[in-house]
Amino acid sequence: MTHNLFHSHSVTAGMADRSKIIEKNLIGKGLGSFRASFNSLCGDGRISCVPDALDQLAHKDLQNLALDLPSALQTLPASRSLRSEASRKPIFSDRLSLNSAIISDDFDLTRIKPLLATALADDPDDAHIWRQVGRTVTESTPPPRPIASSL
């Protein structure tokens, strides 16, 4: 019982720390280049620049946009402080794994659409964006392989 109580307390403390990190490191205009890429794709395809337009983008355009977002997020200070649920390292360290998954032939781009839509919202919620990043990384990247013991 004590272990569960301790675990519950550490999870709550971790969530409070996460909230503080997000509050102190707001995204602000940090996704400007990502949004500009989306607006350019919509303009080229003559479609409305709203998150629902993601369903109207060509596969290659959606894939490129999916690669732009992790790059933009990586430059944000919060990405160096927030911990990844997948690797327990800073979130920015998951970028290469996510990019590899996105460019693979068998990656289902619908997995990243919720994150893209959240980041493209008119008034995006930073905490929701970072939660979506965590979900996307967890769903899109395989767990690390255990290191074989030499003993």
Please state the domain extents for the chain. Answer: 29-140
Q: What is the pLDDT of residue 9?
A: 38
pLDDT at 130: 92
Predicted local distance difference test score (pLDDT) of residue 147:
63
DSSP assignment of 42-95 equals HHHHT---SGGGGGGS-HHHHHHHHHHHHHHHHTSTHHHHSBPTTTSSBGGGGH
Predicted pLDDT of residue 12:
46
Rounded CA separation 25/52 (Å): 28
**Taking the chain (151 residues) in consecutive chunks of 10 residues, what is each chunk's mean pLDDT?**
45 69 94 94 86 92 94 91 80 83 89 94 92 85 60 51
Specify whether the CB–CB gap between 12 and 58 falls below 8 A.
no
pLDDT score of 142: 60
Identify the CA nearest to 48 among candidates 134, 147, 122, 126: 122
Taken as a whole, the chain contains a residue count of: 151
pTM of the model: 0.79
Cβ distance 109 to 59 under 8 Å? Answer: yes
Distance CA 99, CA 73 (A): 12
Find out whether 84 and 94 touch, Cβ atoms under 8 Å.
Answer: yes
